[in-house]
Structure 1
């Protein structure tokens, strides 16, 4: 894990109608609803954060994750990521979550002014009745954008040649929603890389944010992978060195990019002013420059999904966010 990522410790905090078993939260036998609240979590100054989590839910059981931040000695309101449940049975994110200190924009909690230096997490577990199996909450993760900005670490490895054999899927193979499903298409590609083949439509149905109608809620996409037995989180990386460490471990990364003109990322199929997700599958050096191997789901056909993008250009259009999905 990078320095901008913090994993929860569920053994520390207050539980009501819950019990912590082997580091995981479950409902007590005669309870339909329980609440966990963390201790105050002191962190390095940050300007925004993204929550992700691992859970096991079903149609009649859900979890809800809340977060609040401290800035200038004052605490914000609690902000909810909505009730999450597998197979698309989520309430989705709520619009209009804002107070004078912070704003939750779907999956990104923004400090309105200055920076925050602490946060707290609340988790709620729900089930239909006591005969229904309890949901299981395994852990949460917080990905921070630090105040000090990105650290530029020199990368010198001209012999590098990584090519992870990630299946290539085109989001446009699903014409009804093809222009909206870059994220679940990428998740499907990476899950297939590890041996779990899922139809893109099934993944899209599972990750859709029913509050906003979007398929690109970062938190929901990794939660969906986690429900399938993966160990996944949203992380904010800073440089090529950090990306290369994951690739060298055999872990492809789903990266969030945004472009306003075609010249910003040579070889891209189109501009992505509202954002786009791609899978980084490799890295190599050629003719004095580093290149990423990338599966870009915006291609018209699957055979055109594999691309090669200049690292320098890619880093300039990348916002630092990645999904890390591993077995």
Structure 2
């Protein structure tokens, strides 16, 4: 696995105007958008890659949006440019900050040798790719802007296979280290705002993202969340309104959560880590992370539930090396007091690596250094 990052000044070039009809707005007609484009160089993979996950840090002023695309080189040639996102940082509730476009991925994109899985391109095992590119198109209602501003583009490329009988990692540099991250339970939101993926039953990703935003002092203010009303933890609802993916019909899009954190002032991207020793390096550097897991109830002692996909934070490790997590599912109990949970290291590593390939959100202030990356860098 590797992560490639471009930051700061991107070389934007003029592009032909784009005519687009937003299928998610009832009665919408075609709109002509002025455009400019940035395209990455072709990046050769050092291994036979099976997955491409781009992420970005961007601001989209009113009347603008961002098209995120990527393509891969397989034995049969280059794939078409595939759409990873039509991105806007505005809320999806038209009464509270609706934007020029509805934020969405795109379903049913035809591609040979693989498939689009909302936030990732996944190649067929028999059709790995050897090179890849990403490109961003900035779109504006006006010929001379305003334009989206982009401060970071990242892409994680991986080919992860972890056998069920492989040994797990040994405790390392973060034994006995725990970062004080404010707990938030997604269960507090069950049966609220049901039009956003059934409320808190499925809000693990934005709830975890909110924990990190609050930890770093970048959570939305009371004025920004006043529209939520008297519901608990309004910052979580605010996050959902800024990451909801119309096509996915959920708030769990990986890159959308990273992009939202970036609009709040953090440097954020999606990557994959190799094992818990790499997570320990982050924790030892004072950087909690969000990871994706999937498991049956008997596979993770102390969880009290099973899941086909779930995001939670890793905030530390016990002196014995077990994982200290702020788990937003909170044992299915609607209480922030139930969020902190200790999980057995070996079990946790298996349900993280073996089912979700070490998928991780890295979110931190730009002036807070990350640990040194390994030789085959999967963070930067």
Shift in alpha-carbon separation, 1:87–1:114, aligned structure 2, 3 A: same
Shift in alpha-carbon separation, 1:108–1:75, aligned structure 2, 3 A: same
SS for the counterpart of 2:282 is helix
Q: Which deviations, in whole Å up to 9, do the C-alpha atoms of 1:49-89 show, x marking residues without a partner?
A: 21101111133111111000001151111111221010234
Aligned to 2:312: 278
Match status 1:294 vs 2:330: no
Worse-superposed segment, 172-181 or 216-225:
172-181
The runs of 5 or more residues in structure 1 that have no matched partner are 19-30
Q: Which deviations, in whole Å up to 9, do the C-alpha atoms of 1:198-224 show, x marking residues without a partner?
A: 311100000000222110000100001
Shift in alpha-carbon separation, 1:213–1:43, aligned structure 2, 3 A: same
Aligned to 1:323: 361
Shift in alpha-carbon separation, 1:152–1:326, aligned structure 2, 3 A: farther
Shift in alpha-carbon separation, 1:157–1:224, aligned structure 2, 3 A: closer
Aligned to 2:30: none
- Residue 36 of structure 1, CA deviation: 2.0
- Residue 132 of structure 1, CA deviation: 4.7
Match status 1:86 vs 2:89: yes
SS for the counterpart of 1:50 is strand
| Distance in structure 2 (CA, Å) of the matches to 1:308 and 1:14 | 47
Aligned to 1:187: 209
| Distance in structure 1 (CA, Å) of the matches to 2:9 and 2:44 | 17
Shift in alpha-carbon separation, 1:11–1:157, aligned structure 2, 3 A: closer
Aligned to 2:232: none
Shift in alpha-carbon separation, 1:34–1:298, aligned structure 2, 3 A: same
| Distance in structure 1 (CA, Å) of the matches to 2:236 and 2:173 | 36
Asked if the contact 1:13/1:39 (under 8 Å) is kept, the reply is no
- Residue 139 of structure 1, CA deviation: 2.4
Q: Cα RMSD over matched residues?
A: 2.4
| Distance in structure 1 (CA, Å) of the matches to 2:219 and 2:13 | 37
| Distance in structure 2 (CA, Å) of the matches to 1:251 and 1:125 | 31
Aligned to 1:110: 122
Asked if the contact 1:16/1:36 (under 8 Å) is kept, the reply is no
Shift in alpha-carbon separation, 1:240–1:46, aligned structure 2, 3 A: same
Task: Output aligned runs, 1:1-327, within 5 Å.
Answer: 4-8=2-6, 15-17=13-15, 32-44=34-46, 45-72=48-75, 74-88=77-91, 89=99, 90-112=102-124, 113-130=126-143, 132-146=145-159, 155-157=170-172, 160-175=175-190, 176=192, 177-198=199-220, 199-259=235-295, 261-273=296-308, 275-286=309-320, 290-299=321-330, 300=333, 301-318=335-352, 319=356, 320-327=358-365
- Report the TM-score, using the length of structure 1 for normalisation: 0.87
Aligned to 1:23: none
Worse-superposed segment, 89-98 or 43-52:
89-98
Q: Which deviations, in whole Å up to 9, do the C-alpha atoms of 1:136-172 show, x marking residues without a partner?
A: 1222111122368799895454882111000000111
- Report the TM-score, using the length of structure 2 for normalisation: 0.76
| Distance in structure 1 (CA, Å) of the matches to 2:287 and 2:66 | 28
Shift in alpha-carbon separation, 1:41–1:252, aligned structure 2, 3 A: same
- Residue 13 of structure 1, CA deviation: 7.1
Aligned to 1:22: none
SS for the counterpart of 1:172 is helix
Asked if the contact 2:258/2:269 (under 8 Å) is kept, the reply is yes
| Distance in structure 2 (CA, Å) of the matches to 1:219 and 1:159 | 27
Shift in alpha-carbon separation, 1:293–1:148, aligned structure 2, 3 A: closer
Asked if the contact 2:176/2:317 (under 8 Å) is kept, the reply is yes
| Distance in structure 2 (CA, Å) of the matches to 1:9 and 1:121 | 14
Aligned to 2:22: none
Asked if the contact 2:172/2:277 (under 8 Å) is kept, the reply is no
Shift in alpha-carbon separation, 1:173–1:246, aligned structure 2, 3 A: same
- Residue 7 of structure 1, CA deviation: 1.1
Count of aligned pairs between the two proteins: 308
